[in-house]
Amino acid sequence: MKKINRTFPSTRLRRTRMQKFSRNLTSENLLTSNDLIWPVFIMDGQNKKKEIKSMPLIYRYSIDNIIPEIDRLVKIGLQAIALFPYIENNKKDQTGSLALDSDNLVCRCVKEIKKYFPELGIICDVALDPYTSHGHDGIIHNDKVNNDKTISILKKQALVQAEAGCDILAPSDMMDGRVSSIRKTLESNGFKDTLIMSYSAKYASCFYGPFRDAIQSSKLLKPINKKSYQMNPANSNEALYEVSMDISEGADMIIIKPGLPYLDIISKCKEEFKIPIFAYQVSGEYSMIMSAAKMGFLNLEDAILESLICFKRAGSDGIFSYFAPHVLEKMNKSR
């Protein structure tokens, strides 16, 4: 920044903050409906809507019940959703084989949504943790998550989702080389225009707890955590390395996860790569804000908007947020 000699009282920075109109005119960042992606939990069955205890006012929906919810939100500006399945235990196995079934829950949901909302962007998670009996994102071999064996399945899962009509594939597994493998598979099967939004910097975070409850993958078998493949929270240079690799392998966009605790990572990646970057305001962030508001420790509306605009300030082009429906409704009422 160019140094400018400013002295008091000729310069009073408070002048532009004194009234609402001048605060609006000088706002450096703006949150709009175009910035929001709604993460949605889906489940099998008919006419089901079940609240997730660790995520107040967040639900799992059967496919028939998610359609009217989407309809309501598309009318007020919803641009994209991200689907996450709740799979019953008796349908899980060691390799997550259901992920490759073209008639699985996610594929059926994508097809049904596209019937009614062909212009809505649909993002599908490419990972095995909802489908595996051990709860990990990959194939277990000798008590370790095997990178290459996992990729051989992920690329097939990605193809199945693309064939169902998914617009954006979002590999969240953190296996090395999976973006390249998925991109080559898409290219060789005629899906050249299918986007890849890679979870390039996904940290081994404690903030995922409520999400794992939501998809029923919280009880990990050996290994007992995901630190061997998700990133060390102490590292930032490694995140730049990860993002660089994914871009070179064919990622169109990247995700930083979690969100608020990693604003510095968002900022560094945006400054370095100038690529579309999306923040994921994860389940733990959502539940903390909701719990603090319930206790009267903070104002819910202010906390939601402040947390979201922070992502924009840090450099995010968009935000995955469970608050998306609430914020869209507020924006619609203020028009």
Which residues belong to the active site? 202, 257
CA atoms of 14 and 195, how far apart (whole Å): 45
Concatenating the DSSP letter of every residue in 38-83 gives EEEEEESSSS-EEEETTEEEEEEEEHHHHHHHHHHHHTTT--EEEE
φ, ψ for residue 160 (rounded to 5)? -60, -40
CA atoms of 320 and 81, how far apart (whole Å): 9
Cα three-residue angle 326-32-243, rounded to 5 degrees: 100
Q: Where are the domains of the chain?
A: 31-333
CA atoms of 283 and 294, how far apart (whole Å): 16
Q: How many other C-beta atoms lie within 10 A of the C-beta of residue 20?
A: 8
b/e code 128-137 from CB counts within 10 Å (16+ = b): bbbbbbbbbb
Q: Which pLDDT value is given to residue 331?
A: 94
pTM comes to 0.94
CA atoms of 154 and 198, how far apart (whole Å): 13
Residues β-bridged to residue 169: 124, 196
CA atoms of 122 and 113, how far apart (whole Å): 9
Could you tell me where the beta strands, DSSP code E, fall in 182-231? 195-202
Q: Which pLDDT value is given to residue 194?
A: 98
The one-letter amino acid at 132: T
Q: Which two tokens stand for residue 277?
A: 């970057």
- Closest by alpha carbon to 107, among 57, 169, 162? 162
DSSP character at residue 15: G
Contact present, 128 and 100 (Cβ < 8 Å): no
Which residues, at least 6 apart from 308, have a Cβ–Cβ distance to it below 8 Å? Answer: 31, 35, 281, 319, 321, 323, 327
What is the number of H-type helices and E-type strands within the chain? 11, 12
CA atoms of 147 and 74, how far apart (whole Å): 38
φ, ψ for residue 36 (rounded to 5)? -105, 135
Contact present, 113 and 120 (Cβ < 8 Å): yes
Q: Which two tokens stand for residue 311?
A: 């992502």
CATH 3.20.20.70 fits 31-333, yes or no: yes
Per-residue confidence in pLDDT tens, the chain, 335 aa: 677 777 888 888 889 999 999 999 989 899 999 999 999 999 999 999 999 999 999 999 999 999 999 999 999 999 999 999 999 999 999 999 999 999 999 999 999 999 999 999 999 999 999 999 998 999 999 889 999 999 999 999 999 999 999 999 999 999 999 999 999 999 999 999 999 999 999 999 999 988 888 887 766 777 888 999 999 999 999 999 999 999 999 999 999 999 999 999 999 999 999 999 999 999 999 999 999 999 999 999 999 999 999 999 999 999 999 999 999 999 998 87
By CB neighbour count within 10 A (0-12 exposed, 13-18 middle, 19+ buried), where does 111 fall?
Answer: middle
